[in-house]
Each structure stands twice: as structure tokens, then as C-alpha cells.
């Protein structure tokens, strides 16, 4: 098994991509924060279906964490990540330091609107500005033809698409289906924080969302259905529910009956916050 080439500077990243471009190769990128799981690996596979070379960035981005969040304890396991990328046949791992991404005197950030409104922003008000800033930097550094993001972070995917449209970034943003365990739990690096008892509870999140999405598609009152979902999550063992909301699939505007939608939720188990989403079928 060969590990990918590893570079930790923008200059080295650009030099390698210049060589590929010289050979007429198409380049895909998969931005990650590491602690790679099967969901991430599925993104690499999709990237390699769409391009000749795949760059995976591994960078725990401090600007998307609030002071009270888990930046310091976020799992970091670079050697294991590189082994996994080798098996997946990724070509290059970009592993910059914080100083490389945000050098002394860094003073610019991107402020986003549109699909960033509400949901995550109600509870993490600085999150999407941090995400938009680091994603814009990564796409400008690597200049890929396409970039792959998972639908598990559905609001983030919509924000990234808006970012590229608004700033005319010539990158095709590909949304990849959520990868789940055998019980339906969405793969997430933060699942590692959960005890066995908490995992049993966590696996009810997707079940409750799917049942609610079916009810909405069948004509259930939106307010009643989402409130019932909140109650069901608490009854299942979640300590707190931040939101359960239906939104339009493309814009994340408030959902209307008979339109394609997404049902999104965030809920807490102990100190771990889980998010998930499912499709609401149009009728």
C-alpha cells in the first residue's frame, strides 16, 4: 500500500498541481478535518470517478470553532488518516499548519448569508464564516476542477455552493450521499465520543427523522410534525434538541408542502452534538 504524497505548504501544493495540469490531468479535491471514516473515503472514491487526481486536505480549522467548542479535543490521527488515504488511492494529502493557513497578520474573513441563515447559525453564529473562509482558501490554493462534500453536513454543502456561485469560483461542487452504519447512524468523526449506550440512542435520530419526513410528505402539519419529532428525540434519550426543521432542498428557505425538501436536525447526547438530515419527498 502506498500512502499519498504529503505536502504542508501552499507552494508545494501548487507545484504538484501545476505538474498535473501540464500533463492535462483533471484534479478533484476533498476538504476534511481528518479523523477519516468511511464517509470521507466515499468522497475520495467519488472524486476519483470525476477526476484523474485527488487532493485531500486535512486541517482542523480553528476559525469555525467557538471558544466553548471542542477544538482542542477534536480527534487528530494523521498517520491513520494517511494509511486510509493510501488504501483509497488518494494522490496527495495537504496537511497545512495553522500558521500556513492563517499567517501572522491575517485579517480577512468571508461573511455568508442565504442558506447559512438559521439552523446551525442560530447555535454557532461564527461557524459558517469560518467554514466559508477556509473553503475559499483551499479552493483558491488547489484550484481543483471539482470538490466533493458530504450531504451529511447539508447546510454546509448549500453554503459552499452559494459561496462558489457568488464569488465566481470555477469549481464544480459535488454533493455525496451520507454514509451510514448498519443501524442508520450517519458517519461522523464525533461519533468516537459516544459510549455504547449513547450509540444506541444516537441510532434513533435517523429513524425519527425518516418517520417525520414521511409524515410531512403525506401532508402532516409541519409545526406539529417537527414538534412531535423533538418529543420523540427526548423520549429516545437525547438530552437537548437544538432544532428539527424542514427547508427547501436547494435554497434552505422555509419548506412548503409538495416541494422537494430536507428535514434537518441537531441534538445532544452528553457533550456530543449530532446533526443529520433526510430528504422530504415532493408530492
Confirm whether residue 141 is marked as ligand binding.
no
The fold of 5-176 is Rossmann fold (3.40.50)
Which triple of cell numbers denotes residue 138?
Answer: 483551499
Q: Which of 16, 27, 40, 267 is catalytic?
A: 40
Question: Per the annotation, does 219 bind a ligand?
Answer: no
Query: Do residues 213 and 229 touch, judged by C-beta distance below 8 A?
Result: no
249 is in an annotated binding site: no
- Catalytic-residue membership of 183: no
237 is in an annotated binding site: no
Phi, psi of 213 (to 5 degrees): -65, -40
How do the domains of the chain map onto residue ranges? 5-176, 189-277
* Beta pairing class for 261-269 and 27-32: unpaired
- The list of the chain residues with pLDDT below 70 reads 1
**CA proximity to 94, closest of 19, 26, 8, 31:** 8
Strand stretches in 154-205, DSSP E: 172-176
pLDDT in tens, 199-224: 999 999 999 999 999 999 999 999 99
How confident is the model at residue 2, as a pLDDT?
83
Task: Tell me if the pTM is above 0.85.
Answer: yes
Burial 173-196, CB ≥16 within 10 A → b, else e: bbbbebbbbeebbbbbbbbebbee
36 marked ligand binding residue: yes
Q: What CA–CA distance (Å, rounded) separates 156 from 151?
A: 8
C-alpha cell belonging to residue 111: 461573511
DSSP E strands, the chain: 5-7, 27-32, 53-58, 92-94, 146-150, 172-176, 240-248, 261-269, 272-280
Distance CA 212, CA 214 (A): 5
Does the domain spanning 189-277 belong to CATH 3.30.1300.10? yes
- What are the distances in angstroms from CA 161 to CA 244, 247, 272? 23, 16, 27
Cβ(265)–Cβ(229) under 8 Å?
Answer: yes
Confidence at residue 1, expressed as pLDDT on a 0 to 100 scale: 65
64 marked as binding residue: yes
pLDDT at 222: 97
Is 189 part of any known ligand binding site?
A: yes
Contact partners, residue 72, CB within 8 Å, separation at least 6: none
Amino acid at each position: 500500500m502506498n500512502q499519498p504524497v504529503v505536502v504542508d505548504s501552499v507552494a508545494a501544493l501548487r507545484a504538484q498541481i501545476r505538474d498535473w495540469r501540464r500533463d492535462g490531468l483533471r484534479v478533484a479535491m476533498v476538504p476534511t478535518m481528518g479523523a477519516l471514516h468511511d464517509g470521507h473515503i466515499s468522497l475520495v472514491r467519488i472524486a476519483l470517478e470525476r477526476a484523474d487526481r485527488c487532493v485531500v486536505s486535512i486541517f482542523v480549522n480553528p476559525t469555525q470553532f467557538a471558544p466553548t467548542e471542542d477544538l482542542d479535543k477534536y480527534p487528530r490521527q494523521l498517520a491513520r488518516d494517511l494509511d486510509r488515504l493510501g488504501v483509497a488511492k488518494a494522490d496527495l494529502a495537504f496537511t497545512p499548519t495553522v500558521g500556513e493557513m492563517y499567517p501572522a497578520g491575517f485579517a480577512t474573513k468571508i461573511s455568508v448569508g442565504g442558506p447559512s441563515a438559521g439552523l446551525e447559525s442560530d447555535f454557532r453564529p461564527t461557524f459558517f464564516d469560518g467554514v466559508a473562509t477556509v473553503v475559499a482558501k483551499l479552493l483558491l490554493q488547489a484550484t481543483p476542477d471539482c470538490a466533493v462534500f458530504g450531504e451529511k453536513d447539508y447546510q454546509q454543502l448549500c453554503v459552499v455552493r452559494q459561496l462558489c456561485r457568488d464569488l465566481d469560483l470555477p469549481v464544480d461542487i459535488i454533493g455525496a450521499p451520507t454514509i451510514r452504519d448498519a443501524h442508520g447512524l450517519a458517519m461522523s468523526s464525533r461519533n468516537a465520543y459516544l459510549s455504547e449506550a449513547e450509540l444506541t440512542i444516537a441510532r434513533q435520530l435517523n429513524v425519527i427523522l425518516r418517520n417525520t419526513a414521511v409524515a410531512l410528505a403525506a401532508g402532516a402539519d409541519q409545526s406539529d410534525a417537527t414538534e412531535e419529532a423533538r418529543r420523540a428525540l427526548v423520549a429516545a434519550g437525547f438530552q437537548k434538541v437544538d432544532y428539527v426543521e424542514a427547508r427547501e432542498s436547494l435554497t434552505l428557505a422555509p419548506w412548503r408542502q409538495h416541494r422537494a425538501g430536507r428535514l434537518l436536525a441537531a441534538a445532544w447526547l452528553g457533550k456530543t452534538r449530532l446533526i443529520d438530515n433526510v430528504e422530504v419527498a415532493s408530492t
